[in-house]
Amino acid sequence: MNVEHLTGVLGARISGLDLTTLNEQQAASLRAAICQHQVVVIPGQALSPAQQTAFSHQLGPFSPVPFVEPLAGFPEVISVVKEAFEPDAFNFGGVWHSDFSFLESPPAFTILQAIDVPTVGGDTVWASMTAAWEALTPDQQERFTEMTAVHSASASYSPAQQALHSGLSSMDIRTSTDAEDTQEHPLVCVHPETG
């Protein structure tokens, strides 16, 4: 497995792996690389939903995907769709977010397999919470360590929000009043493997 750093803060490109045939040692090395670099790109993979599911299970436990209809037969895999004709008024995942933070136990990783990508636009951007933390003063770190944040899926998945965006998205959203439930998490989450 070859790891090429992409920036000074986060991100790496990994080559020399076939995600359909990972052994335990390779999966452990890949998991460690993801934890170290926070975001990894593994080009040249064309995983079927079954292969993507098997790969995700090698990285650890999975969470069922709430509020979005999964692919038939694959409860952990959803299709994230933003068609060119859709207005920017509702862009699924188009604002800064932490995937599934509204769950009691959010998953450790999200796997995004880009299948149909436009030549212009459609960018996905990541931010390093580690770098953000390190940029804080010790007083700020101490203050934030004592705080919690309340998370909800309401802005994306509640019936009221979906009614506002009716017909504006190709996503197969399952609206529910459950989206209005809240979860409280520490504002500062310490990574269990990297600290």
**Whole-structure pTM value:** 0.86
Taking 70 as the pLDDT cut, the residues of the chain under it are 87-94, 165-168
Q: What is the pLDDT of residue 95?
A: 73
Q: Would you say residue 192 lies in a domain?
A: no
Q: What is the pLDDT of residue 18?
A: 97
164: Cβ contacts below 8 Å, ≥ 6 apart = none
Q: What is the pLDDT of residue 163?
A: 75
Q: Would you say residue 67 lies in a domain?
A: yes
Alpha carbons 62 and 173: distance in angstroms, whole number? 20
Q: What is the pLDDT of residue 89?
A: 54
From the list 21, 9, 48, 61, the residue with the least C-alpha distance to 1 is 21
**How many folded domains does the chain comprise?**
1
Q: What is the pLDDT of residue 87?
A: 67
Coil, strand or helix at 186: strand
Q: Would you say residue 134 lies in a domain?
A: yes
Q: Would you say residue 78 lies in a domain?
A: yes
CATH of the domain at 80: 3.60.130.10
Q: Would you say residue 87 lies in a domain?
A: yes
Q: Would you say residue 169 lies in a domain?
A: yes
Q: Would you say residue 7 lies in a domain?
A: no
39-55 tens-digit pLDDT: 999 999 999 999 999 99
Q: Would you say residue 100 lies in a domain?
A: yes
User: How open is the CA angle 53-54-55, to the nearest 5 degrees?
Assistant: 90
Q: What is the pLDDT of residue 6?
A: 95
Domain carrying residue 169: 62-107+123-186
Q: What is the pLDDT of residue 192?
A: 87
Q: What is the pLDDT of residue 28?
A: 96
Q: What share of the chain is helix, strand, coil (3-state, %, to 5)?
A: 25, 10, 60
Return the bridge partners of 79, or none: none
